[in-house]
Structure 1
Amino acid sequence: MSLDRVADLRRWEDSGAHWCVLTRTVHSLTIALLRCDGGEEVDRFTSTDPRLLDFVGARTSSEDPERPV
């Protein structure tokens, strides 16, 4: 079963929590999920999903504006 990390990040943001990119390569991202106060790391994951790479784009965190579609 494949995880939908884009949906995961959208739900995380919709709940008021934050995320940040810890590591970025050409083909993967490692993302930390942070508490809603922007503080403590709750979880992290690494993904090579091209949809996630496209969704995150050049952003370094959920605080950066999404690029226009």
Structure 2
Amino acid sequence: MSAETAAAVVRRWEESGGVWRVVGRRRGELTVSLCQCTGGEEVDRIVSADPALLAFVGDRASSLD
């Protein structure tokens, strides 16, 4: 990943109308699937322990929550 934080990527994805889903949770780490705006096909996947991402996602399972 570039200098952009995982949280910034997921926020920008959501603000642009994309859908994200948590596909994995481990202690202090998330795996987030970035999907097309229809909620369909996965476009990218982020695995991160970024505290800002953990805080942004919280207990949600997806951007639709």
TM surpasses 0.5: yes
CA distance in 2 between counterparts of 1:26 and 1:49 reads 12
- 1:31 corresponding residue in structure 2: 32
- 1:61 corresponding residue in structure 2: 62
Structure 1: state its 5+ residue gaps: 65-69
Would you say how many aligned residue pairs link Structure 1 and Structure 2?
A: 64
Larger Rg computed on CA atoms? 1
1:51 and 2:52 matched? yes
Which of the pair has the greater relative contact order for Cα pairs under 8 Å at 6+ separation? 2
- 2:18 corresponding residue in structure 1: 17
Identity among equivalent pairs (%): 52
- Tell me how far 1:2 sits from its aligned partner: 4.5
> Structure 2 length normalisation: TM-score?
0.89
